């Protein structure tokens, strides 16, 4: 992988987006990737640098997709006990009772 010269905010946003790929734990890093990606995108328009604009837009879109995936996984994890109770299967509470 080639090393790309990026500003500090772009490199930090890229690191946040990379760490956000971790299932369930990544929800902690998604807001940082969104915030820093947005900040870098706004800064690229303000300074009129086209070189960072594409990278920061890509990081921002990746962070949005990661956030949607993370929220979906957390929602599924929240709903699984309800779904298993509706399906008539034994819940974990019933399995551990003597």
DSSP single-letter state for residue 22: S
Residue 94 predicted with pLDDT over 70:
no
pLDDT of residue 64: 92
Average the pLDDT over 33-41 and give the result. Answer: 88
Residue 3 predicted with pLDDT over 60:
no
Confidence of residue 72 (pLDDT cuts 50, 70, 90): very high
Global model pTM greater than 0.75 = no
Closest by CA to 38, choosing from 18, 66, 58, is 58
Lowest mean pLDDT among 2-16, 22-36, 46-60: 2-16
* Placement of tokens 């086209």 in the chain: 50
More confident: 25 or 95: 25
* Placement of tokens 């594409």 in the chain: 54
């Amino acid at each position: 992988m080639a090393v790309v010269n990026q500003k500090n905010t772009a490199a930090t946003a890229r690191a946040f987006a990379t760490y956000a790929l971790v299932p369930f734990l990544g929800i902690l890093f998604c807001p940082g990737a969104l915030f820093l990606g947005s900040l870098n995108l706004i800064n690229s328009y303000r300074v009129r640098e086209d070189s960072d604009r594409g990278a920061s837009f890509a990081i921002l879109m990746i962070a949005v997709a990661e956030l949607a995936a993370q929220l979906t996984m957390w929602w599924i994890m929240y709903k699984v006990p309800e779904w298993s109770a509706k399906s008539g299967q034994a819940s974990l509470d019933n399995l551990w009772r003597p």
